[in-house]
Amino acid sequence: MIKVEGLVKKYNDHSVLKGINFEVKNNEVYGFLGHNGAGKSTTINILTGLIKYNGGNVMVNGSVGYLPEDPKFYPYMTAREYLRFIGELSNTNKASINSRCDELLELVKLKNAANRRIGGYSRGMRQRMGFAVALYNNPQLLLLDEPASALDPEGRKDMMDLIKGFKEKGGTVFLSSHILSDLERIADRIGILNKGQMVMEGSLDEIKREHLLPIYDIEFEEPCGEVAEKIRVLNWVEDVEVEDRTMSITVRDQQVANNLLLRALWENNITVVSYQVRKSSLEDIYMRVVQENE
């Protein structure tokens, strides 16, 4: 559906994209992950054809719907008027326009607000309106730029449900986001962009299987900064994060940690209040990969 090879984008002497490669397959949700300023929006603008690029190859197959991060509308129009306007621009006959408007307003849960001016909509309502516009011409591929970045938890859930529904009907989604929990819920494959370079790509299952590491969350009776430095140098420890009396220890080998971690803490004469083990999340993987590529 999308194939990008060696994509380069520069603004004067500043390289925003430095020869990135990725592929989006048919009927999958591809999560394009990176911090603000990593080059995600630039990539989407290139895929939509809104801006040119300086090198590489970009192939996009199929009809495309696009939802920018902050969609703009004529605020004096109602949702129904705006969708009819889109239909007229698409040279759709009047009967089809009316039925399509009703169908989309029902889908994005704006039917009860269909005759209200968009200028009075909340951010979440405008995002859902933008999703309806992106769907109007029945695209095969959706390009979504941070569709849930400023939404509350309920609004984010609504947006994720719309994306899942589109995929279930055979659609393909390229989803740019920095909200890792959302991508972890719906993405089939992930690409991680950092400073204009792809630092990781693969299926979510593959990435978790290869990069998930156990994390020991431990709380102590007193601040543990000095002990953390002693734990950090152990060869089976990957990383240590400290916040006052709590320590999160990422380890390379859980069996070794089970045998040696409590002993190491006991030898440093510090009292443990609580102790639990969890698997690292996509956020942990992302932070580790980005730090390794700094």
Q: Which two tokens stand for residue 97?
A: 């326009």
Contacts of residue 269, defined as CB under 8 A and 6 or more positions apart, other chains included, come to: none
| Residue 14, beta-bridge partner list | 11
DSSP state of 39: S
Chain position carrying tokens 């990593």: 38
Calpha distance 167→173 (Å, rounded): 7
Contacts of residue 130, defined as CB under 8 A and 6 or more positions apart, other chains included, come to: 67, 68, 71, 147
Residue range of the domain that includes 109:
2-208
The reply to whether 195 and 278 lie within a common domain is no
The reply to whether 202 and 236 lie within a common domain is no
CA distances from 202 to 7, 190, 233 (A): 18, 6, 31
| pLDDT, position 293 | 65
**E strand segments, 62-145:** 64-67, 141-145
Calpha distance 265→218 (Å, rounded): 10
The reply to whether 157 and 252 lie within a common domain is no
* CATH number where 24 lies: 3.40.50.300
The reply to whether 182 and 222 lie within a common domain is no
The reply to whether 82 and 198 lie within a common domain is yes
Calpha distance 86→130 (Å, rounded): 12
The reply to whether 39 and 129 lie within a common domain is yes
| pLDDT, position 294 | 63
Calpha distance 268→270 (Å, rounded): 6
Length of the chain: 294
The reply to whether 17 and 89 lie within a common domain is yes
* CATH number where 224 lies: 3.30.70.980
The reply to whether 197 and 243 lie within a common domain is no
Calpha distance 12→23 (Å, rounded): 27
| pLDDT, position 227 | 86
The reply to whether 169 and 238 lie within a common domain is no
> DSSP letters along 224-291, please?
-HHHHHHHHTSTTEEEEEEETTEEEEEES-HHHHHHHHHHHHHHTT--EEEEEEEE--HHHHHHHHHH
Q: Which of 165, 180, 208 is the last residue of a domain?
A: 208
Mean pLDDT by 10 residues, the chain (294 residues): 95 92 95 87 94 95 93 95 93 87 94 95 92 95 89 86 94 90 88 90 81 86 87 89 90 86 85 85 76 67
Q: Which of 157, 183, 208 is the last residue of a domain?
A: 208
Q: Which of 208, 227, 257 is the last residue of a domain?
A: 208
Q: Which two tokens stand for residue 207?
A: 């990435």
What angle is formed at CA 216 by the lines to CA 214 and CA 245, rounded to 5 degrees?
155
Q: How many structural domains is the chain composed of?
A: 2
Amino acid at 137: N
The reply to whether 124 and 24 lie within a common domain is yes
